Amino acid sequence: MREFNYSKIAEIKWDSEVLGLVAGIYKEVGKQELFLKQKPEELDKLIEIAKIQSTEASNAIEGIVTTNFRIKQLVKEKTTPRNREEQVIAGYRDVLNTIHESFDVIPITQSYILQLHKIMYSHMNNPLAGRTKVSQNYISATYPDGHTDIVFTPLDPFETPQALDRICDEYNRIIGNNELEPLIAILVFIHDFLCIHPFNDGNGRISRLLTTLLLYRNGFYVGKYISLEAKINKNKDLYYDALSLSQEGWHEGKDNPLPFIKYLLGTILSAYKDFEERIELVEVKRSALETVQIASKNKVGRFTKQDIIELCPSLSLSSIEGALRKMVASGELVREGTGNKIEYYRTE
Considering the four listed CATH numbers 1.10.260.40, 1.10.275.10, 2.170.8.10, 1.10.10.10, the one that applies to the domain covering 286-346 is 1.10.10.10
pLDDT digits (tens, 9 = 90+) for 288-335: 999 999 999 888 899 999 889 888 877 889 999 999 999 999 999 999
- Location of each CATH 1.10.3290.10 domain in the chain: 6-281
Q: Which residues contact 248 (CB under 8 A, 6 or more apart)?
A: 254, 255, 256
Rg (CA), the chain: 21
Percent of the chain's residues with pLDDT above 90: 81
250, 163 contact by CB (below 8 A): no
Distance CA 7, CA 10 (A): 5
Q: Is 153 exposed, middle or buried (0-12, 13-18, 19+ CB in 10 A)?
A: middle
Question: Which one-letter amino acid corresponds to residue 273?
Answer: K
What is residue 44's predicted lDDT score, i.e. its pLDDT? 83
pLDDT digits (tens, 9 = 90+) for 19-58: 999 999 999 999 888 888 776 666 888 898 899 999 999 9
pLDDT digits (tens, 9 = 90+) for 211-261: 999 999 999 999 999 999 999 998 899 999 999 999 999 999 999 999 999
What is residue 41's predicted lDDT score, i.e. its pLDDT? 66
pLDDT digits (tens, 9 = 90+) for 62-73: 999 999 899 999
Considering the four listed CATH numbers 2.40.160.40, 1.10.287.1770, 1.10.3290.10, 1.20.120.420, the one that applies to the domain covering 6-281 is 1.10.3290.10
pTM as predicted: 0.91
DSSP 175-243: HHTT-S-HHHHHHHHHHHHHHH--SSS-HHHHHHHHHHHHHHHTT--GGGTS-HHHHHHHTHHHHHHHH
- Using alpha carbons, select from 137, 213, 198 the residue that is nearest to residue 165: 198
Q: Which residues contact 211 (CB under 8 A, 6 or more apart)?
A: 186, 190, 223, 228, 264
For residue 158, pLDDT beyond 70: yes
Distance CA 145, CA 140 (A): 15
- Location of each CATH 1.10.10.10 domain in the chain: 286-346
